[in-house]
Structure 1
Amino acid sequence: MDISGIALITGAASGIGRACALGFVRDGASGIALLDLSQAALQKVKSEIQEKQRELGHTKPCRVEIYPTNVADEKRVDEVVDEAARTFGRLDYVVNAAGIAMKHLGGAAFAETADWQRILDVNLNGTFYVLRAAARIMLKQEPIRSVIDGRPLQRGSIVNFSSIQGLVGITLSTAYTTTKHAVIGLTRTASEDYANKGLRINAICPGYTETPLTTKSPEILKAMMERVSTAVPMERMARPEEIADGVLYLSGGRSSFVTGTALSVDGGYVSR
């Protein structure tokens, strides 16, 4: 893939965020800022990245910095994004992978306000805080040229995480589905703001994927497996690496004429 430069990834300690970090290293990123709640978990991913570089035989190591961060904390997000940009000199790719999910037993009528607010704070507000802080930096920095000859210059690329639940409704998922629809709206309006300024903003919409977020809760896992068996034409869940490949496509120069899209990587779920 045509990835070079600096990436910042939220939700990087596990699941799809971790897979994205390893994918950026594989495809040539020169630096990665990893954001998540746990410093210990981030340090583990950093070690995995270093091991991956040794396996690949990279002669020029990818610099990795970790930043324990709650993306729902607006002040902390601003501080960390600015610090990462100063440390690396610029930001070329931002991946908003942080997120939480929850089922509301009984549906919308019985959703607790505290649960609703917590999911909105992380999935929607957190995505907005990171996008805003990164966009302010990207708009001021010099463009980089894609390694693909003839492609236009790009100041930066932001990939927000929506979901198939940003495209359809899913039972008992009031808050999560609402946030993922909203992330697509945020992506589309922000992409319109900056499409002519060298900043591309897209969303990825993963289908059912094997991650800690989706497998640690017996209720969520049970509901997902029931849906997979009946509604996913491929009749399986995705691996995190399969979603990460979509993120890398949207980030790099091969998607140079793509902005404001919501790319569904779902085993055929939405198109069935």
Structure 2
Amino acid sequence: MNGRLEGKAALVTGSGSGIGRATALLFAREGARVIVSDVNASGAEETVAAIQKKGGEARFIRCDVSKSAEVEALIRGAVETFGRLDCAVNNAGISGVMGPTGDYPEDAWDRVIATNLTGVWLCMKQEIQQMLKQGGGSIANTASVAGLVGFTMAPAYTAAKHGVVGLTKTAALEYAKANIRINAVCPGLVRTPMITDTTSKNPQIEQALIADEPVGRMADPEEIAEALVWLCSGASSFITGAALPVDGGVVAR
């Protein structure tokens, strides 16, 4: 344990798998007490068990981040459990269906925006209120390279992630003097269930995606987790309002 977050109380949404699980595990390894949150109870409980197996402290609180009442209960439960909330990673998200803008289904649009954008805002709203009470904190949002550049056939996902980047910058400016730092990471292609569920059915898709990566490979979830932990730690104390690409060079084109 390196202790970059020693004694901190942390929350990671969407931590039942993928980037969220890797982040919760790394937070715990760095000394944080972690609230693991997801709609997938079995996956989240596996994350909690993995943390506890290595001597860390974690608790699961189920939450659908698109529902205001559940988000309020989540933050209330986190504070009741650990007494405060020092770090929050708003990571919960869905990919949605693929399709061109002119034909995109309205119900699919609503689901993606509700989870990927409104969900981040609802979480930030409650987290900021708690951090104001206690005198500060750090928030890191999981956006995407799709929050920095356009991606065809993914209008809802791209719009939501652009929204997360804009929301991150706005809130960072609003609360900079309140000792609340707010940043975002923008991952590129990461080997998570969101990707592997698609590529496992068609290996050619995986090959095409990797071929489009300047570094010639996917990222591991742990590589994104490292950026999220750094943004929540004192090592990034003069950074707020940043949208950090962790993308193997995609947006450098």
Shared fold, TM over 0.5: yes
- In the alignment, what sits opposite 2:230? 249
One of 76, 88, 91 as aligned partner of 1:94: 88
Identify if the C-alpha distance between structure 1 residues 224 and 197 changes in structure 2 by more than 3 Å, giving closer, same or farther: farther
**Tell me, what secondary structure is at the counterpart of 1:100?**
coil
Which whole-Å CA distance do the structure 2 matches of 1:49 and 1:92 have between them?
Answer: 19
Displacement of 1:220 in angstroms is 9.1
Pairwise mapping of residues 221-232 of structure 1 onto structure 2 (< 5 A)?
223=205, 225-230=207-212, 232=213
Which whole-Å CA distance do the structure 2 matches of 1:224 and 1:184 have between them?
Answer: 27
**Tell me, what secondary structure is at the counterpart of 1:134?**
helix
- In the alignment, what sits opposite 2:52? 50
Displacement of 1:225 in angstroms is 4.0
- In the alignment, what sits opposite 1:6? 9
- In the alignment, what sits opposite 2:185? 204
- In the alignment, what sits opposite 2:160? 179
Identify if the C-alpha distance between structure 1 residues 179 and 247 changes in structure 2 by more than 3 Å, giving closer, same or farther: same
What amino acid is the match of 1:126? Answer: G
Identify if the C-alpha distance between structure 1 residues 243 and 86 changes in structure 2 by more than 3 Å, giving closer, same or farther: same
Q: Is the 8 A contact 2:65 2:122 kept in 1?
A: yes
Greater shift, 37-46 or 176-185, is seen at: 37-46
Q: Is the 8 A contact 2:28 2:57 kept in 1?
A: no
- In the alignment, what sits opposite 1:136? 129
1:258 matches 2:239: yes
- In the alignment, what sits opposite 1:215? 196
**Tell me, what secondary structure is at the counterpart of 1:157?**
strand
One of 107, 110, 118 as aligned partner of 2:111: 118
- In the alignment, what sits opposite 1:146? none
Greater shift, 80-89 or 120-129, is seen at: 80-89
Displacement of 1:103 in angstroms is 4.0
- In the alignment, what sits opposite 1:80? 74
CA displacement 1:3-29 (0-9 Å, x = unmatched): 121100100100000000110111111
Gapped regions of structure 2 (runs ≥ 5): none
Displacement of 1:39 in angstroms is 2.0
What amino acid is the match of 2:112? Answer: I
Which whole-Å CA distance do the structure 1 matches of 2:69 and 2:10 have between them?
Answer: 21
CA RMSD of aligned residues (A): 1.5
Gapped regions of structure 1 (runs ≥ 5): 54-61, 143-154
What amino acid is the match of 1:128? Answer: W
Q: Is the 8 A contact 1:96 1:159 kept in 2?
A: yes
Which whole-Å CA distance do the structure 2 matches of 1:263 and 1:86 have between them?
Answer: 32
1:268 matches 2:235: no
What amino acid is the match of 1:263? Answer: L
Q: Is the 8 A contact 2:51 2:57 kept in 1?
A: no
Q: Is the 8 A contact 2:96 2:111 kept in 1?
A: no
Displacement of 1:38 in angstroms is 2.2
Which whole-Å CA distance do the structure 1 matches of 2:173 and 2:127 have between them?
Answer: 16
CA displacement 1:232-257 (0-9 Å, x = unmatched): 21100000000000001100000000
Q: Is the 8 A contact 1:208 1:224 kept in 2?
A: no
Which whole-Å CA distance do the structure 2 matches of 1:228 and 1:32 have between them?
Answer: 33
Which whole-Å CA distance do the structure 1 matches of 2:12 and 2:106 have between them?
Answer: 29
Displacement of 1:228 in angstroms is 2.6
Q: Is the 8 A contact 2:145 2:188 kept in 1?
A: yes
What amino acid is the match of 1:182? Answer: G
User: TM-score, normalized by length of structure 2?
Assistant: 0.94
Q: Is the 8 A contact 2:61 2:77 kept in 1?
A: no
One of 141, 146, 149 as aligned partner of 1:168: 149
Which whole-Å CA distance do the structure 2 matches of 1:220 and 1:182 have between them?
Answer: 31
